[in-house]
Structure 1
Amino acid sequence: MNTPTPGALAEKILSGVGGSENIESLTHCATRLRFQLHDGEKVDQATLDALDGVMGTVSQSGDRFQIVIGGAVAGVYSDIMNLPSMTGGATPRPQSDAEVKAEIRAKGRGRLAWLDNFFEYLSDSFRPLLGVLLGASLIIAIASMLDAFGIVDFRSADKSATWVFVDSMWRSVLYFLPIMVAYNAAKKLKIDPWVGATVMAAVMTPNFTGMIGSKTPGVTTTTNATLGTSESVAHVFGLPMQLNDYGGQVFVPLLMVALLALVYRGLKRIFPENVQMVFVPFFSMLIMIPLTAFLIGPMGVWAGNGLGTGLSWLNGNAPIVFAIVIPMLYPFLVPLGLHWPLNALMLVNINTLGYDFIQGPMGTWNFACFGATAGVLLLSIRHREKDMRQTATGALAAGLLGGISEPSLYGIHLRFKRIYPRMLVGCLVGGVIIGVLGGVNTKAFAFTSLLTIPVFDPMIKYIIAISAAFFTSMALVYFADYRTKEERVQANAERDAAEAAAGGKAVVPAQTVAADDRELVAVGAAATATGASAGTVAGAAAAAGTPVAAGEAPAARKGLELTAPVAGRVVGLGEVEDPVFASRALGEGVGIEPSDGHVVAPVDGELITVADTGHAFGIRTANGVEVLIHVGIDTVKMQGEGFDVRVAAGQKVSAGDLLAEVDLGAVRAAGHPAVTLMTVLNTADMTSVEPHTGQDVTAGTPVVTVLR
């Protein structure tokens, strides 16, 4: 499989989504291209899914569309934006009144469109921060490992200036997260993102936070004797304002920006365009900073604390239920991008409780996911699947070292339906273990990878749970396979064909073989030819030995004789109505117009393939000659009706043994030619394959001579 050049992939993606004129906006995250389209109906999703370099696609309401690329997404995004047709970027095209009305009606019909918009708002507010959050989590992991090995006391209250500085490297991300979230949220709602960031920063300045617990005039601090907590209230303009440290808060900026968007757009309607740059930001700040400090900030803190308290209650009162629900839920949330709200709660827990109890159970889902990928990798090595081996290796590295599951999900798991049920068993096993052992906490926001194991406490419980999840999923996927039996046969045949081509033999691509004949290629290394195309098989056979006409003696050289599988008139493959057989794409051989439906083995050997429908049989002889017997043309469509199969795959047969009884009348009544075809699939490996045509024969009469 040849991966297209970056530019070619960009052009194909652009064409698949309906061209540049159909793109309203295009962004990307860590693994996905995210399109807002004018008309989602113009997307050719099947073509996009088939592209090399595309892991999968996700269609969403509101003409939103995602294309999963993986780690190379930034490069593909850049290639698309640099295409000539994308000059100036993707901008909304003018819409007619009718189109505007139709769009409004369409949104009204989408009962869950508001829910999609809500989660899209949450996701796009956090998604661009993925890189810095991952970077911070790895810094924490390194420091925690040093602490675990006794090199430095990471939790000490009197750390040296060196480690205080190291702390600032990761705390910068978590503390100033509200400003970053506010910027992204404002950008998502298409208002000035710097206004959103400024409003949030106003309540995080040293001037503001310095009032907490201080003796500043107008500030009163009370202590709750029962809980041991203190609360500061400032009297500003005669009004009480609860003081909070908003570092690490995520609900406050999300609530604030949602209201800011309304204020900002309202101000734009009030002020003339030539003065908007000055007065819209000015009045937005003048209105929203007090609103945030007096109302939205305390409400956001309350909401976050309330959700965290509720989950904490569940974790404390039903820990097994909690530990099972989290890992079983994540496999369905992540593909839809709906996992960010839970990630936000993790940050709230760390900020309010000083620790988080969600990430431990969540880690078992991640490692179950990575275990399933490891199972696929082992199978790809066993079956010599180069492309899948590369995909699985990259996905496993991204998971185990970075804690990122999307490459595994979109590159592998969602493509093969057999993986998910087995992966969920791993999630269940890991969740049960964490629940039974009493839960796992962490004091840091960390992507669950091998590198971040030391940040979890108790670490040994966490290791046991994620190991069980990983190896359970890996074993189930490996021993059950991620492909069905039929898919495995076809995949192995295509692999053999590719290997034969790499060895200098021309092969017939699987896509050129009729769908009902693909399973037949699995009998051997695939249909091969010695020339530049499938049609040269006949030429190779002719060069090695001229076909023998009726009445002539077989070639003098001793060879393997293939006998007629049915009685009837022997004809050359060029005379049959099937273009695949006629072109010798499935090897040299003969066709027999049958006079009865008694089908027998033409040679001694092992039955490698027996079609469930009874229309085809593959036999491999002791010295490696691969013979195909195909009864009728397109008879697979009969679904076995009229075919009484007497053998099974893996069975040893001798020449003359009964393979099947076929009702030729039923075949002809169904409109299918009854000609029975017999070919040598690995003709290219033979010195010669000599058909003896133009004669009437009984079953068991030699009709093909094969020389190794």
Structure 2
Amino acid sequence: MKYEQLAKDIIDLVGGTENVNSVTHCVTRLRFRLKDHDKADKKALEDHEDVVTVRESSGQFQVVIGNHVPEVYKAVVTEGGFENEKQEDNNDEKDEKKKGPLSSFIDIISNIFLPVLPLLMATGIIKGFNSMFVALGWLENTSGTYQILNVIGDGFFTFLPIFLGYTAMKKFGGTPFLGMAIAAALVHPSLAAIGESEPFMTLFSGTVLESPVQVSFLGIPIILMSYTASVVPIILSTYFAAKVERWFASIIPQVVKSFIVPFLTLLIIVPLTFIIIGPIATWLAQSIGFAIQTGYEFVPLVAGIIVGGFWQVLVIFGVHWGIIPIYYNNLAVQGYDMLIAMTFAASFAQIGAVLAVWIRTKNKKLKRLSLPAFVSGFFGVTEPAIYGITLPLKTPFIMSCIGSAAGGAIIAMTGAALYSAGPLGVFKIPTFIHPENGIDGGFWGMMISIIVAFAVAFVLTYFFGRISQKENTEAVVGDGKMQEDVYDEELVEGDVNNADTETTVQNENILSPANGDIIPLSSIQDEVFSSEAMGKGVAIHPNEGRMYAPANGLVTTLFKTKHAIGIKTDNGAEVLIHIGMDTVQLDGEFFEAHIEQGDKVKAGDLLVEFDINKIEEAGYSVTTPIVITNTNEYDRVETVSDDTITKEDVLIITKV
């Protein structure tokens, strides 16, 4: 009954039982799915003496308790009458599965882009400033300074598929570095040289899908396209690659699995992408470009609305490349282009929506993302705005498309045209000046279009954008971190039987559970541990895949994924050993437990074995925090300062 009052306080502060859809727990925290996050008093919970901290991630309201979370969980379930929490949580998962295909696609794209948003913003701003320097005459585009700034700003965009290969493969449950290898093949420089060679055959000659073929694979013709800066091809490739990798991993013998699985996966997926995924994207782009050009010749107003309104959608799917060749051809043959001109207002519509989000939101993380996204979009680089702000929030993206459609319609009706290829964003404005007539009606039509697009997107987003605190929290990861919640355990339904072992704490020497290198707790990339919110301790980077019991005691917790072990020693210390960072995502793969929850162990007993190489190949760190979660029961908790340690050495000293 000692947690009854704490359970009451937690339930009250999350908004009461009526605000709780379900509650589960992991090794350190309660995980609530709330109907309305705004009803929860996060500040009061964080200030509660028995609560370590509060986190919000992946739609969950997480109350960090510590090693005794199973006992608190029991009290919360009893106090709140959550007998049906499992069924409710299952229903919650079913609701997630009811998402439409478009909504699911947006969620996948957004989550894949979240880790790279800071780099997208940084390089986008560099590209924008470089264009500005040239437009103002401060730099020549042939100067060394321009070239260096250009490769800094453009390098990330050029090889964007490699970065997305990592994040997408991780999202789909595959090996992240395998995703990078697939992407590296798609953007290999030699492909450009092959694409310039004389074709040996032409497919679909005389049609809009006419495609020259310069190379074949095992006799199968391959239609080459540029995958640099593309998005959809690598996402589709990694989606299938993750499935293929898992299948091979299930049938390949363990002794050769580490290199045979990626070997076979690469041999299947990369050619499949060149032969099927790439050509489909190419033909789709060409068809859309042909349809838009034809539509513009007959009904400019409708074409302006469609091209302007859907341009950012085409960019997301990567099929806008089918229109770009028409743009360059128009400039070469006619001396001007009215097709891409209709898309010019799109970036201003995006920043209008972003500005409205920045003003309306109370979420500090979203505000920090919005400002650099606005600056980048002002210079014509809208990826940070799309993938970081408007697309994850969904409604603002729709509002920006409406604003862009209005701008495209005005450009089409006023006859605005581009007379040269030039920089992006605001510095592209001079390219609308007629080379003979100067500033004419078309130029002023373009100026009106960007003002209208900005204003329409801003007003619609501000008043109808559905910018709620809950949406913001779920959609955005800030502070430049790869994940908002690095220490993010899988949900556990039901009870983790943490045995009741009341013991008066005594002075004790806690041995190292592993052989390896000492790392200060403050240096690891998990604020729950590095801030000592879970208790004082130290981290070890093990040099062999074994964890041993650091003292005589009872195994109070063995998490289902085998990466987290809680031991209460005979002298009262509560020791948490957490093997690796975010290794819960492996779902127990590469881990083998030699103990069970409730076992008595002696110092030096083998607890868990794990494969360091495979864990690291999967993209996870094996740095292992060892903390005393009942630190507040001691006068002092001291850790050793040596660089290396073995399992026979003392790691932590507790004194009462």
| TM-score band w.r.t. shorter chain | 0.3 to 0.5
**Structure with the greater alpha carbon radius of gyration:** 1
Greater RCO structure (CA 8 Å; 6+ sep): 2
